[in-house]
Amino acid sequence: MKKKKRIVYNLCLAVLICIFLGSAGYLAYYFLQSKKSEDQFQELEAMIDAPVNEEEIVYVATDGDAEPGLEFVNIDGTRVQKSFASLYRENHDFIGWLSIEDTNIDYPVMQTPEEEEYYIHRDFYGEYSSAGTLFVDLESNVQKPSDNILIYGHNMKTGKMFHDLLKYENESFYKNHKYIQFDTIYGNGTYEVIAAFRTHILTEKEDGFRYYQFFNAEDKSAFNQYVSGCKALTGYTIDTDASYGDSLLTLSTCAYHTDNGRFVVVAKKLTP
């Protein structure tokens, strides 16, 4: 009887050891992948403002266009601001760079109209990456732009990608970090936060606020409805509002308070 118990004990111990080793191996792989991604992002950031030949400059912005004096080059038929020329040459899916002060959010942003989630588990160069790369929703128009530009990113356990968006649950953090920088190949943009909230992806049968379906307002009422919907879900008061005609930026990541949970930050573009 004792021998049988010993065998069962040893089997259980072996199973637990295998589970432990498997979990440890997965965590090690997860963190190594994250480190690899962050190293690549730093290398990409170093390419911003890389020098270009003066003869490559084909356009200098004036009033009413991009920021006056902003220089552009032509790359395969696309006018790209000079600062991002090297990044765009590396990958034509590159659309801009997003950053928030005092956070880990300082990343390139991609857009692939033919396959929206192409970069959900791919790095800048299209190789597998558990962290993926920030990407713009298919319905968002960065160049025009649409009334709302929606950007997705993972909430990584390592604290990277869009994990730091959740800091906006804290009102004191918001008060000291009201601004988001989203510079694109077409021009630069500073945005002021107007809402930050938890929500979830609704099923077809559920009624509720679907922040992820707003891109262009049919009219002033539709725009105001989106803004008020975002503010109603925010856990503290943000006095800054948005008016019909403003350009919005919505950042979305996973949150784990419920099934298909999301954490969302919404900001409006400031006029230079």
Q: Please identify every residue annotated as catalytic.
A: 154, 254
CB atoms within 10 A of CB 230: 24
Alpha-carbon distance of 163 to 169, in angstroms, equals: 12
CA nearest neighbour of 37 among 163, 142, 144: 163
Alpha-carbon distance of 67 to 94, in angstroms, equals: 20
CA nearest neighbour of 110 among 46, 44, 171: 44
Residues 6+ apart with CB under 8 A from 101: 177, 179
Q: Is 248 exposed, middle or buried (0-12, 13-18, 19+ CB in 10 A)?
A: buried
How far is C-alpha 88 from the chain's CA centre? 18
